[in-house]
Amino acid sequence: MIYFNYGAKIRKKIVYLRMKRIILIFSLFFISCSTVKHVGVMPRTTLVRGVDVLQLDYTITKAGKQLPTKLFVFDVSLSKNVSLVATSATDDCSSIKAVTNEQTSIVPISKQLEVIQSNRKSIKVLGGVNADFFHINRSNMICGVMYRDGVCLKGSYDDKTTLFALLKNGEACCMTTEEYERMDKSTIVEAVSGRQMLLNDGVAQSAENSIFHPRTAIGVTKDGKRVFILVADGRRKEYSNGLSYADMANILLKLGAYDAINLDGGGSSSFSIGVGNGLFKPLNRPSDKSGERAVPNGIAVIKRLKER
């Protein structure tokens, strides 16, 4: 009888500890927004110190139904060793054209990352995503501003353009075109453009589009030292249904972003990581039936290698 009671106490203690652990996990990882509920999380995968990949499972409410959405996030702490670079089709600045009567080169972001890794022996490319909206099936010209290694490749931009920039002081920022026009442009090292401002000074911005689609977005912390790059899969009912602008703003805010912009989405949304031997593949499932879409530019997450 004494043995039985002791065993029962042990079992009760185990159940209590398990329940406590479950509550703790949900307390740490729960993220909620207006139409999105966080229902699960896979552990962080650390690529290198300062760069983590998160895969998040969400449920969206659409027409009264609960539907799944898959999210992929690069969590990047900028440092002298970890940084971001703008990518182009051939790792050649001349592939980016500033006028519509010339053809901008396009290739999938995974291939852009492979070319950079092949060309630049001083860095290790960890992964990347697509960036700018572009004149698809026409000139493929990007719609906004782009900088690479301190050089402005395209200074003109369409209406409602926003920018993500990495500055010479090592910090990152998201800004409107009005802020871009007022700033000292000589401080920009890398820059790509988006459209909708999702977060401005820690406040979610009102956005007209409440439709769920595949999305790509980027946000930065208030001090500019941490960057969150988000890709949401969509257009596959049983697998993933995408996000609205408001959802992205709320998710990035919960992750810790202070400012954030929306990048090109839909079939362009691609979240690629290294798979070995200098090759890269999407971790997500791009929505085009043909697979990963060819795009003009992107953002690569890189680690600088020590000189031998």
User: Do 79 and 21 belong to one domain?
Assistant: no
User: Do 23 and 39 belong to one domain?
Assistant: no
User: Do 38 and 1 belong to one domain?
Assistant: no
Beta bridge partners of 163: 175, 193
User: Do 253 and 278 belong to one domain?
Assistant: yes
pLDDT of residue 43: 67
User: Do 183 and 236 belong to one domain?
Assistant: yes
User: Do 63 and 180 belong to one domain?
Assistant: yes
Query: How many domains in the chain?
Result: 2
Structure tokens at 239: 């697998």
User: Do 248 and 118 belong to one domain?
Assistant: yes
pLDDT of residue 159: 84
pLDDT of residue 24: 35
User: Do 58 and 15 belong to one domain?
Assistant: no
Per-residue pLDDT of the chain (308 residues; tens, 9 = 90+): 333 343 444 455 444 445 444 333 333 333 333 344 554 555 689 999 999 999 999 888 778 888 899 999 999 999 999 999 999 999 999 999 999 999 999 999 999 999 999 999 999 999 999 999 999 989 999 999 999 999 999 999 998 899 999 999 999 999 999 999 999 999 999 999 999 999 999 999 976 767 899 999 999 999 999 999 999 999 998 899 999 999 999 999 999 999 999 999 999 999 999 999 999 999 999 999 999 999 999 999 999 997 64
Residue 10 burial (CB count, 10 A): 10
User: Do 143 and 256 belong to one domain?
Assistant: yes
- For 1, the domain range is 1-30
The whole-model pTM stands at 0.86
User: Do 151 and 272 belong to one domain?
Assistant: yes
pLDDT of residue 307: 61
Structure tokens at 160: 């409602």
pLDDT of residue 59: 82
pLDDT of residue 255: 95
User: Do 101 and 54 belong to one domain?
Assistant: yes
User: Do 268 and 124 belong to one domain?
Assistant: yes
C-alpha to C-alpha distance for 96 and 295, rounded to whole angstroms:
11
